[in-house]
Each structure stands twice: as C-alpha cells, then as structure tokens.
Amino acid sequence: MNFKEEINKLKKEKNAIILAHFYQTPEIQDISDYIGDSLGLSQEAAKTNADIIVFAGVLFMAETAKILNKNKKVLLPDIEAGCSLADSCGYENLIEFKKLYPDHIVITYINCSAKVKTLSDIICTSSNAIKIVESFSKEQKIIFAPDKNLGSYINNKTGRNMVLWDGSCQVHDMLTIENVIKLKNKYPEAKIIAHPECKGQILGIADFVGSTTALLNYTTIDKSKEFIVATETGIIHQMKKNNPKKEFYVVTTDESCSCNDCPYMKINTIEKLYNCLKNEKPKIVLSDELIEKAKKPLLKMLEISK
Ligand code: 13P
Ligand code: SF4
C-alpha cells in the first residue's frame, strides 16, 4: 500500500491535520502538516481548525493537544508511546513532594502527564524555560519538575536555586561527556550542540544549547560546516534537508547501537499512523474536569510565549 497517498486522501476526507515532533521517523516527518518542538506543536494545536489532530509524537504531547482542543478528536498512532521523563513524576509523588515545600510554586516541563499538569502553576518547554522562570521574581521559591538536567541548566543560567525533581530523559541522560569528546577529537572543527535534557557536563562544553527547533535553526544560521549533535537522532533528518552541504555527527554511547533513538517516539510507524487515521483510534480521552485544571498552567505558558 502507498501509505503516503492513502494518508493524504484520508486527511482531506476527514479534515485532519498531522502534527509531528522532530524525533519521529523521516517518513512520518515528511507526511506531516507541521513538524516542530514541543512549544511549536502546542501553539499549532491551539490554533488549528482541523476536526481531527493526529499527533505523531508521544502521549504527553497528544494529551496537551487534547487539553487545548476539548471538542476535537486527538489521535496517537500508538497509545504505548510514553516518555521516561513523564513517567518519572507520578501525580501522588508530586503531591507529597509539594508538601515538603509549601511556600514554593511549581513549574513543570511539558514532558509530564495531564494529571501532573493540574499540580503546576505554569508549564514550560525547553524553548521557553528560561523566559518562564524569569517571569517570576528572584525571591519566588520554585519547584522545577520533572527534568533535573534542564532544571539545573536553568539554575545556572538564571542564578536561581529552584528545587529540582529527580527525573531525566532516558535518551539524553545516557550520553556522556566522553562520548562527546571522542567525536570532538575526531572532528575538531565541528561545533557541539546539545539539548538541555543532556547532563550538565555536556551542556557546559557545548557551543550552543537549545530546544530541537533552536538546534535546527542554529545549524542553518551558523557558518560552521560540521556539527556534533547531542540529542535524539530524528532531528538529523531536518538538519540534513535544510543544510545538504553540512555534516552532522550524532553523539551515541556506542557507535554500533541506536541507543539515542527514543523507543517511545520511534514506536510510531507510518502504518500505525495510517490505521489510526482510518479507524480514528487510539483516541485521547480526558475528563472535562482534568482538561479544565490542566489547561490553566498551559494557557499561562502560551500567553507568556507569544
Ligand atoms: P523539544 O522538542 O521541545 O526540544 O523537546 C524534546 C523532547 O525531548 C521531546 O520529547
Ligand atoms: Fe521522553 Fe526523552 Fe523520549 Fe523525549 S526523548 S519522549 S523526553 S524519553
């Protein structure tokens, strides 16, 4: 079957839109209506006129799209597409944690469940995290959850002392400074660029740190011809497309493994995407009460990010 043709037909018939994250397979990225980072995707989800949103990404992203579109159908090609970072922060555990810091507000990274969002004062993504934190006074006490690497990066950049939840992304947290240095020795002219979910040591030596969109833009704007890329492999597809004459070296833990392919992102396939659009399932279902509560901190974020 020609999935591309069939998906395009179904999209028209059903007034559907496909939103994809940069960590999806090239095949999925190429059939999408919009590809972006978590902020771009939520902004796009907030303004679409489509009746159906197919979210080629992971559960917390599809939930975010549903929270912003209560009356629309939001589909996820594989409902098992979770996230180790979101899973590291349970709802009940965060309630207990908050009790230890009663005078703190809670800023949560968008990589968390819809239920955890209801415990948050405001949400942030990797592209607006510093702006969101700095929207509060220096005196404001803050709990930052669930990514400790992003949290400590923001603490360093802003001089804050946020209390950090002990969570991390299994893909980014596995990359080590030794893996990066090995590549730098091999390609001394290459610029090191890293996602803020990486460990602090890597962020400390990186020439540029940013969200997936920011990393992609940097590779296009910067004059360098070579880049050492410390993030998930999916982003390389757009980097190569935008910069066919530049070279990209992905940081891995071991050259023979595909350990920095996110197993959750890559569980989606073009066939699952086709089936999900055809059968209109798996569908994201959240109660009205949950949507109303989780929407408040998300809208606050979108307002500040305009
Ligand atoms: P961004 O695309 O927002 O940088 O997030 C990366 C990520 O880990 C998504 O799961
Ligand atoms: Fe979660 Fe990391 Fe996968 Fe992103 S790359 S979905 S943060 S496990």
Give pLDDT tens digits for 41-90: 999 999 999 999 999 999 999 999 999 999 999 999 999 999 999 999 99
In a domain, 258, yes or no: no
In a domain, 256, yes or no: no
Closest Cα partner for 144 from 115, 208, 101, 174?
Answer: 101
Residue 253 has pLDDT above 90, yes or no: no
Do 134 and 181 meet the contact criterion of CB atoms below 8 Å apart? Answer: no
175 and 238 together in one domain: yes
**37 CA to centre of ligand 1 in angstroms:** 6
Tens digit of pLDDT for each residue in 75-128? 999 999 999 999 999 999 999 999 999 999 999 999 999 999 999 999 999 999
Total count of residues recorded for the chain: 306
Ligand 1 contacts (CB < 6 A) are 37-38, 111, 125-126, 169, 195, 197, 211-212
Final residue of a domain: which of 125, 141, 168? 168
| Number of the ligand closest to the Cα of 196 | 1
Place of tokens 């819809």: 114
In a domain, 189, yes or no: yes
Q: Which atom of ligand 1 is nearest to the CA of 197?
A: 8
Ligand 2 contacts (CB < 6 A) are 23, 58, 83-85, 111, 169-171, 232, 262, 264-265
148 and 93 together in one domain: yes
**121 CA to centre of ligand 2 in angstroms:** 23
Q: How far apart are CA 185 and CA 19, in angstroms?
A: 38
In a domain, 131, yes or no: yes
Give whole-number Cα distances, 218 to 127, 190, 204, 240, in Å: 13, 13, 17, 13
Whether this prediction's pTM lies above 0.85 is answered by: yes
Final residue of a domain: which of 201, 221, 250? 250
In a domain, 305, yes or no: no
70 and 124 together in one domain: no
Q: Which atom of ligand 2 is nearest to the CA of 57?
A: 6
186 and 116 together in one domain: no
| Residue 176 φ/ψ region, left for φ over 0, alpha for ψ in the -120 to 50 degree band, beta for the rest | beta
Tens digit of pLDDT for each residue in 203-247? 999 999 999 999 999 999 999 999 999 999 999 999 999 999 999
In a domain, 297, yes or no: no
In a domain, 64, yes or no: yes
Domain that holds residue 123: 85-168
In a domain, 294, yes or no: no
Give whole-number Cα distances, 142 to 84, 118, 160, 163, 282, in Å: 23, 16, 9, 6, 36
Q: What is the CATH number of the domain that holds 118?
A: 3.40.50.10800
Complete edge-to-edge strand list for the sheet that includes strand 226-230: 208-209, 191-194, 226-230, 247-250
User: Could you give the number of structural domains in the chain?
Assistant: 3
Confidence of residue 40 (pLDDT cuts 50, 70, 90): very high
